[in-house]
Amino acid sequence: MTERAPYAAHPARSRGRRHAEPPAAPRSEYQRDRDRIVHSTAFRRLEYKTQVFVNHEGDLFRTRLTHSLEVAQIGRTLARMLGLDEDLTETLALAHDLGHTPFGHVGQDVLNACMRDHGGFEHNLQSLRVVDTLEQKYAEFDGLNLTFEAREGILKHCSARNARELGEVARRFLDGGQPSLEAQITNLADEIAYNNHDVDDGLRSGLITLEQLAEVDIFARHLNEVRAQYPRLTDRRLIHETVRRMINTLVVDLLEQTRRNLAQHRPVDLDAVRACPPLAAFSDEVLARHRELKRFLFHNLYRHYRVVRMSEKAKRLLRELFDAFIAEPRLLPPEHRARADADPYRAVCDYIAGMTDRYAIREHRRIYDIDELA
């Protein structure tokens, strides 16, 4: 096992939690963070939240839960090879999508539009809100009371206005600077995971084809390699052998480029990492191919008419839910109703953001379907 690097986040040198707690021993502080995520309600909801395909469209497609597990797998590999803290990396991977709405990205767009005059909505900020405030499980505090490094890593983007409100954890969005390397690699592990599993899910769904993908350089290279080695291989095995080689190429390239950047900048500790330019990166050549694949998926999968059709239905459904709750907050379940007295828009937004796909569909039916009794 690689030794811990000087620039790694170190649980014993954490900037701590917002509410002081006794040490986590025998676990490290970051192990405790990771465990709190796994035991959270928001984490279990990821099982029924869309990545690209809505949960009821098929049992084998990725959900936000399996996506997060794949990010954690890639992130841990990278962390181990670079001597970083694996537990913090895993925490960030498992937490990175906790704030996602039902129905993937359209959910965020709808809620952001609904909240335009009321502070807006951003799923990444919502992830921090989930771990800071919305989880209600502990006797002494709201949220999960995670370490500063976990909270800093969860917050990937932030407007200046929100950054001023959030204080220290968001300071880099005002003053410049980077988060830990653990956060930087988790971010890229997220990209590696979704680009590759969306290829796999896209092919499985039949919305994209091998022939189309053969036009994409990074896919074609690995496909040809597999076909040369196993001329008779077809279907699932051919796809998986190609995808696993793509993942490997991206992970190895990311490792090598990041090592070059580390050798150039030589950060002596985590604070030095924060002051450097981004250190985790792909090489220019692989980045260009990775982006080509991203563009392909955007045009051919995420914009496929069948995906758009589902997204449009989801938009209408969420908008109608929002309107119904705002028009009549007494439709809210009691715990959300109580919060609506102080700020109805934020309470409704939090309630909808937390819903799984199927819960949102059921709730819409309960509110709008006259034959639905309860």
**Binding residues for Mg ion (CB under 5 A):** 97, 190
SS3 170: helix
At closest approach, how far in Å is the CB of 68 from Mg ion? Answer: 7
Chain-centre distance of CA 137, in angstroms? 22
Tokens of 243: 């995808």
At closest approach, how far in Å is the CB of 360 from Mg ion? Answer: 20
Say if residues 200 and 243 touch (Cβ distance below 8 Å): yes
**Residue nearer to Mg ion on the CB measure, 97 or 135:** 97
Return the half-sphere exposure (C-beta side, CA atoms, 13 A cut-off) of residue 164. Answer: 2
Tokens of 334: 């009691």
Q: Which residues of 200-220 are buried (b: 16+ CB within 10 A; e: fewer)?
A: bbbbbbebbeeeebeebebbe
Q: Say how far apart CA 114 and CA 304 lie, in whole Å.
A: 25
Residue nearest Mg ion, CB atom distance:
190
**Residue nearer to Mg ion on the CB measure, 86 or 97:** 97
* Beta carbons within 10 angstroms of residue 137's beta carbon: 12
SS3 50: strand
At closest approach, how far in Å is the CB of 373 from Mg ion? Answer: 38
**Residue nearer to Mg ion on the CB measure, 17 or 62:** 62
**Residue nearer to Mg ion on the CB measure, 182 or 190:** 190
**Residue nearer to Mg ion on the CB measure, 156 or 289:** 156
At closest approach, how far in Å is the CB of 199 from Mg ion? Answer: 15
At closest approach, how far in Å is the CB of 193 from Mg ion? Answer: 7
